[in-house]
Structure 1
Amino acid sequence: MNILMICTEKLPVPNIRGGAIQTYICGVASLLSKHHRITILGRTDPDLPLDEIVDGIRYVRVDSEGLLDVYSRGVISFLEHTTEHFDIIHIFNRPRLVLPVRNVAPFSRIILSMHNDMFNPYKLHSSEGNAAIEQLERIITISNYIGTAICDYYPHAAHKLKTIYSGVDLDRFAPWMESPSALRARESLRAEYNLQNKKIILFVGRLSRNKGPHVLVRAMSKLNHSDAALVVVGGAWYSDNTISDYVAYVRALAERAPLPVITTGYVQAHDVHRWFYAGDVFVCTSLWQEPLARVHYEAMAAGLPFLTTARGGNPEIIVNNNGLLVTNPEDPSEYAEKLNTMLSDMNRARQMGINGRRLAERNFTWERVANDIRSVWEQR
Structure 2
Amino acid sequence: MTLLSEQKPLNISIIVSDLSSTGAGRWGGAIRPFLLAQALEKLGHHVKLFGLAYENETPPVKIEDYSVVSLPCPYYVGFPKFIGVATQLISKIDGDLLYAVKLKPTSFGLALLKKMTSHRPVIVDIDDWEMSWFGGEQWKYQMNFKQLYRDLFKPNGLLKHPDNPLYLKWMESLLPYANIVTRHTQFIGKRFGGVYIPNGKDVALFDPAKYNSEKTRAKYGLTGYKVLMFPGAPRPNKGLESVLIALDKLNQPDLKLVIVGGSPYDDYDRKLLEQWGRWIIKLPKTPVQLMPEIVSAAHIIVVPQLNTPTSLAQFPLKLTDGMAMAKPILATKVGDIPEILDQTGYLVEPNSPEQLANQIQWIFAHMDEAEAKGLQARQRCIQFYSIEAMATILSGVIQSVL
Post-superposition offset of 1:32: 2.4
Alignment partners' CA distance in 2, 1:72 and 1:94: 18
Change (3 A) 1:77 1:94: farther
- Preserved contact between residue 348 and residue 356 of structure 2 (Cα < 8 Å): yes
Shift of 1:347: 0.8
Match of 1:118 in 2: 130
- Residue 58 of structure 1 deviates from its aligned partner by 4.4
**Which of residues 196, 206, 213 is equivalent to 2:223?**
196
Partner of 1:165: 198
Cα–Cα, structure 1 residues 218 and 376, in superposed 2: closer, same or farther, change >3 Å? same
CA–CA distance in structure 2, aligned partners of residues 67 and 116 of structure 1: 23
**Deviation at 1:256?**
4.7
CA distance in 2, matches of 1:215, 1:111: 38
CA 1:74–1:369: 2 relative to 1, 3 Å: farther
Contact 2:229 2:298 in 1 (8 A): yes
Tell me if structure 1 keeps the 8 A contact 2:18–2:24: no
Which segments of 5 or more consecutive residues in structure 1 lack a partner in the other structure? Answer: 151-157
Residue pairs, 1:164-183, within 5 angstroms: 164-175=197-208, 178-179=209-210, 182-183=211-212
Is the partner of 1:273 in helix, strand or coil?
Answer: helix
Partner of 1:133: 175
Aligned counterparts of 2:32 and 2:74: Cα–Cα separation in 1 = 22
Identity %: 21
Q: What amino acid does structure 1 have at the position aligned with 2:202?
A: D
Quick one: structure 1 residues 52 and 202, their matched pair in 2 at CA, closer, same or farther if it must change by over 3 Å? closer
8 Å contact from structure 2 (residues 15, 111) kept in 1:
no
- Cα distance between partner residues in 1 of 2:188 and 2:122: 19
Partner of 1:155: none
Give the conservation status (yes or no) of the 8 Å contact 2:39–2:394: no
Q: How does 1:27-38 map to 2 (within 5 A)?
A: 27-33=35-41, 35-38=44-47
- Letter matched to residue 280 of structure 1: H
Q: Equivalent residue for 2:187?
A: 145
Residue 7 of structure 2 corresponds to none
Does 1:214 pair with 2:241? yes
CA change 1:83–1:173 in 2 (3 A) is closer
Name the residue aligned to 2:14.
Answer: 5
TM-score normalised per structure 1: 0.79
- How far apart are 1:218 and its partner, in Å? 1.8
Residue 103 of structure 2 corresponds to residue 76 of structure 1: no
- Between Structure 1 and Structure 2, the one with more helix by share is 2
CA–CA distance in 1 between the matches of 2:125 and 2:363? 36
Cα shift readout 1:72-94 (whole Å, capped 9, x = no counterpart): 75343332x3594x432110013
Conserved in 2, the CA contact under 8 Å of 1:224 and 1:340? no
- Secondary structure of the structure 1 residue equivalent to 2:174: helix
User: 1:366 is matched with which residue?
Assistant: 387
Task: Show the 5 A alignment for 1:166-315.
Answer: 166-175=199-208, 178-179=209-210, 182-183=211-212, 186-192=213-219, 195-223=222-250, 228-237=255-264, 244=267, 246-256=268-278, 261-287=280-306, 288=308, 289-290=310-311, 291-315=314-338
The DSSP-based 3-state class of the residue aligned with 1:272 is: helix
- Give 1:37 shift: 3.4
Contact 1:231 1:262 in 2 (8 A): yes
Q: 1:127 to 1:249 in 2, by over 3 A?
A: closer
User: Which region of structure 1 is more displaced relative to structure 2, 352-361 or 44-53?
Assistant: 44-53
* Bigger mean CA offset, 202-211 vs 110-119: 202-211
- Residue of structure 1 in register with 2:143 after alignment: none
Cα distance in structure 2, aligned partners of 1:58 and 1:230 = 36
Q: TM-score, normalised by structure 2?
A: 0.75
Aligned to 2:346: 324
User: C-alpha root-mean-square deviation of aligned residues, in Å?
Assistant: 3.5
Deviation at 1:235, TM superposition (A): 1.7
Which residue does 1:101 correspond to in 2? 111
Post-superposition Cα deviations, 1:244-265, rounded to whole Å, max 9, x if no partner, equal 3x323322333455xxx42335
Give CA deviations for 1:85-129 in whole Å, capped at 9, x if unaligned. Answer: x43211001343435532342211111001101365443569724
Find the aligned partners of 2:317 and 2:277 in 1 and give their Cα distance.
29
Deviations 1:307-331 (A, max 9, x none): 2223333333221x211222132x3
Q: Is the 8 A contact 2:39 2:390 kept in 1?
A: no
Check conservation: 2:35, 2:199, Cα contact below 8 A: no
8 Å CA contact 1:285, 1:308 repeated in 2: yes
Shift of the 71–317 alpha-carbon distance from structure 1 to 2, 3 Å rule, reads: farther
Aligned to 2:356: 335
Shift of 1:353: 0.5
CA offset digits 1:170-220 (Å, max 9, x no partner): 133222xx33xx11xx33442245543443211222133232322212211
Of residues 57-66 and 141-150 in structure 1, the stretch that sits farther from structure 2 once superposed is 57-66
CA contact (8 A) 2:182 2:195 kept: yes
Query: How many Å separate the matches in 1 of 2:296 and 2:14?
Result: 32
